[in-house]
Amino acid sequence: MLKKIFAKVGAWILLFAMMFTLLPQHVSASETVTPSKTKYTVILNGSRFFIHNEKTIGSAVGTEYFMTYTVKRATTVPEQHGLVGTEDPSRNFQYSNGGLMRYAGKDQIMLDEGATYFIKFTVAKGGFRYEITRAKGDDLTDLYMSKVVGEATDKMGYFGLQIAYGKGVDLELSNVRFYDKKGNDLGVKVERPSGVGYVMKGSSNLSKAKDLDHRYEVSLEKKRNIAISNVKIPTTSRVYLEYKVESAEYLLNQEGISISDDPESDYPHRNGALRFKTYKQIGNQIDMLDVGAEYIISIDRQKDNCYVLVQKKKDGKTTSTLLSSEFGTYKESFDFISLWFGAGGDTEATFKLVDFRIYDANKNNLGVQTNVASTIMHYGEMEDYAGCEATYYCKKNGNLMALYGNQSMKYTTDETTEDATYRISENVMKAKFQDGEKKYDYLFKRITDSDNNEYERLYTYQVSFVTGTDAEIDTQTLTNKTGYSALRPTDPKMENYDFEGWFTKDGEEYDFEQIVTESKTLYAKWSGDGGIIFTANDEPVKGAFDATYIFIGSGAVLLVAGLAVCVVFIRKGIKDGNSKKKTNKKN
């Protein structure tokens, strides 16, 4: 009697530790067992399943395996279930040809909603021994399986719960664990000869992506066979979809998730796969278009199958559903996930979905598109940063801010250049530097910092050079990639003249350290014998006193220039006099 009391107390402590993870160890009557810290969720929808350890620790007599789980939801339960030990978990009936099942007929003692179970399997000669304790509320009960079927073997290395028969099973088990007595996780796997069995690490409770600043509004009117999908390729196998139904009027009979490489087709799953639910009649009771409801959908693209978990929240109540009906041929390589409503010529819908977004497990926004005419509005962080790539220049402090399409940036002052990353949302730019984050007001043409310093956007500019000789210097094109300081070219040469530098059209010597904010032409300045100094214009030199040059010189040179002007005036006067004489003769 005392031994039985100790055994119950040990199991009670074990269950308490498993449910609340408050105790590092639980104690049985004879030994200390450490529960695994890795928990799984198992969702079943079908008619026959076997939930078992994924890894084996052998089949030597006395080897112990442990399993725990809580029945979170039992919408429909099977006609038969029991404990199975087998050497081959993949076979259709695990308890035949090297397996054994202990079960309790139609009594649902292992699938009581809200109950938590602790099971210990011990490999024995010719089969296995088991211990089952069920906890629900304040009740703690040991369970016994009276029926046995199968053929025992000495090679049993897989143990678990078999669920079989019935019109359909709709179950969710939480806190599922398989482990050895040292607490090593043995993994969880579901064999599913008939139905969909989904295993996921952790809880099935899905949470919205709080750090993803992208939201879409999708509106359409009287459309048929609607697919709303991602635009960009996911970087992870798991993809998430969120939305809220603001308004909806429709006559539909099918909803689901399509996986394909042809998202813009009228039926994307024609050459892909569909996980869906079909209603008997066309109507307005589609579960995934419930006005006021919020949805989070997890699409887990595994190697051999794709699992779609739909979580719905409305009026404070949250429900989860595994889409179990399958159509088409699934491939792990399919990259486009579509929210699907259809499914025929007589079905159509008008609705408005808000806070819509599709993203992968790395929180990458994947964009939104539809296969029918619709209105899509985007809110939040900028979708495409390619258009942001530019350099901004502040004339007041002389600093530069270079933004790049990969969301990296460089901030340059007279002394340093700092690297940072940036993101833009609702005209606010947040730049993350090594020493912290800074905020800026962002407009396409201008960025303003907290001190009201304005950085003007620089565009593509060209700097041309005129030498005044037959030699040509290549025009420099300045962009965000090249930088906005022109490079000083090699000094040009002219026979009998010395090169004095590059000047603007206003006669100012050009500083090659300055930032170029507009296209410009620079002119070579020359000096020669006798104090002659001139700046090249846009024509090649033809002579020392060519009219295409601006002359600045000594008094002697100015005197010569003056005489030349006098000669021009004298010749002009004589010409005018002769013209008058000719006119008089005609009169």
Report if residue 208 sits inside a domain: no
Contacts for 531 with CB less than 8 Å, ≥ 6 apart: 553, 554, 556, 557
316 has which bridge partners?
A: none
Say what the alpha-carbon torsion angle 283, 287, 293, 296 is, to the nearest 10 degrees. -140
Q: Are residues 151 and 37 in the same domain?
A: yes
Radius of gyration of the chain measured on its C-alpha atoms: 41
Q: Is residue 253 part of a domain?
A: yes
The 3-class SS string of 301-341 reads ECCCCEEEEEEEEECCEEEEEECCEEEECCCCCCCEEEEEE
Tokens of 151: 């053929």
Whether 508 is in a domain gets the answer yes
Q: Which of 327, 354, 380 is the last residue before a domain boundary?
A: 380
Q: What is the pLDDT of residues 370-426, one digit of tens each?
A: 999 999 999 999 988 999 999 999 999 999 999 999 999 999 998 899 999 999 999
Asked if the structure places residue 82 within a domain, the reply is yes
Alpha-helical runs (H) found in 422-554:
none
Nearest 5°: phi and psi at 137? Answer: 60, -130
Tell me: do 376 and 445 sit in the same domain.
no
Question: Where among 431, 456, 481 does a domain terminate?
Answer: 456
Same domain flag for 406 and 420: yes
Both 448 and 465 in one domain: the answer is no
Is there a single domain that holds both residue 445 and residue 350?
no
Domain span holding position 189? 2-201
| Number of domain units in the chain | 5
Please answer whether residues 67 and 180 qualify as being in contact, where contact means their C-beta atoms are separated by less than 8 angstroms. Answer: no
Using one digit for the tens of pLDDT, what is the confidence trace for 285-344?
789 999 999 999 999 999 989 999 999 999 999 999 999 899 999 999 999 999 999 876
Q: Residue 429 and residue 443: Cα distance in Å, rounded?
A: 9
pTM above 0.85, yes or no: no
- Strand 336-342 versus strand 226-229 pairing type: antiparallel
Give per-residue pLDDT as tens, 398-414. 999 999 999 999 999 98
Backbone phi, psi, residue 549, to 5°: -125, 150
User: Measured between alpha carbons, how far is 179 from 18 in angstroms, rounded to an integer?
Assistant: 12
Q: Is 207 a member of any domain?
A: no
Q: Are 337 and 256 in contact (CB under 8 A)?
A: no
> Does residue 389 share a domain with residue 335?
no
Both 360 and 446 in a single domain? no
218 and 111 in a single domain? The answer is no
Clarify whether residues 26 and 142 are in a common domain. Answer: yes
The answer to whether residues 105 and 253 belong to one domain is: no
Q: 385 with 406: CB under 8 angstroms? A: yes
Domain match, 344 and 220 both:
yes
In degrees, rounded to 5, the angle at the alpha carbon of residue 309 between the alpha carbons of residues 306 and 315 is 165
Strand 188-201 versus strand 306-314 pairing type: unpaired
- The Cα–Cα gap between 207 and 240 comes to 10
Whether 289 maps to a domain, the answer reads yes
Question: Rounded to whole angstroms, how far apart are CA atoms 424 and 387?
Answer: 12
Q: Which of 405, 440, 456 is the last residue of a domain?
A: 456
209 within a domain of the structure (yes/no): no
The CATH number assigned to the domain holding 280 equals: 2.60.120
- Residue 445 binned pLDDT confidence (cut-offs 50, 70, 90): very high
Is residue 259's pLDDT more than 80?
A: yes
Q: Which residues contact 268 (CB under 8 A, 6 or more apart)?
A: 227, 229, 258, 260, 262, 336, 338, 340, 371
Q: Which two tokens stand for residue 408?
A: 């990296």
Confidence of residue 166 (pLDDT cuts 50, 70, 90): low
Q: Tell whether 445 and 510 lie within a shared domain.
A: no
Say how many CA atoms lie within 13 Å of 176 toward its Cβ: 27
CB 393 within 8 A of CB 459: no
Task: Give per-residue pLDDT as tens, 77-104.
Answer: 887 889 999 999 998 888 887 889 998 8
Please give the pLDDT value at position 4.
44
Percent pLDDT > 90 in the chain is 68
Judge whether 410 lies within some domain: yes
* Alpha-carbon gap, residue 96 to 85, rounded angstroms: 10
The CATH code of the domain that includes 484 is 2.60.40.4270
Note the pLDDT of residue 209.
Answer: 94
